[in-house]
Amino acid sequence: MNWDQEKIKSILPQREPFLFIDEIIEIDGAEKVVAVKHIKPNESFFEGHFPGKPIMPGVLLIEAMAQASIILYSVAKPEIVEAHPDYYLGKVKAELLSPAYPGDKLIIETNRVKFLDNAAITDCVIKVRDKIAAKANLVFSIQKKE
C-alpha cells in the first residue's frame, strides 16, 4: 500500500518546506511504516548547514522519524486522527550515526512500541544506502484541538 504526497498531507499537519516524507512504501498493519524522503540538492537548510559541505541537520532527521511515526499512529488510531489533532514531541532518545547528503534517499522505518489515545511511543531507524544514519525512540502526545 503506497501513499503519495496528497494522502500524506491528509494526515500530517506539516507542509513544505517542513514536510519530510515523500511517500509511504510499506505499511505492516498498525505495527510498522516505511517512508521515503528524497533529499533534494536545493533544500533550503543546505544554504547554512554547511556551505561547501551540505549535510542534512540531525534535528531534521528526527523530525522525519516523527512524521513517519504520526503516519503509523494514523493507521492504528484512525478515529482519533480524523479530528486532525495536534502532535507534540515530548521525549527523544536519538543517535545520529552517519550524515545524510544532497541526493540521498532516506528510508525511514518506524515501529510501534505503545499507542494510547493521547500518547505514543515509537522506535525508528533511518537508513541511507543500507547503512543506519540515525535511530531514535520517540514519545509524543496527541491532543484534540480546542
Provide the annotated active-site residues: 49
Integer Rg of the chain from CA: 15
Q: Please state the separation of Cα 83 from the chain's center in Å.
A: 20
Q: Taking Cα atoms as reference points, which of 19, 119, 31 lies closest to residue 75? A: 31
* DSSP character string of 1-34: --B-HHHHHTT----TTS----EEEEEETTTEEE
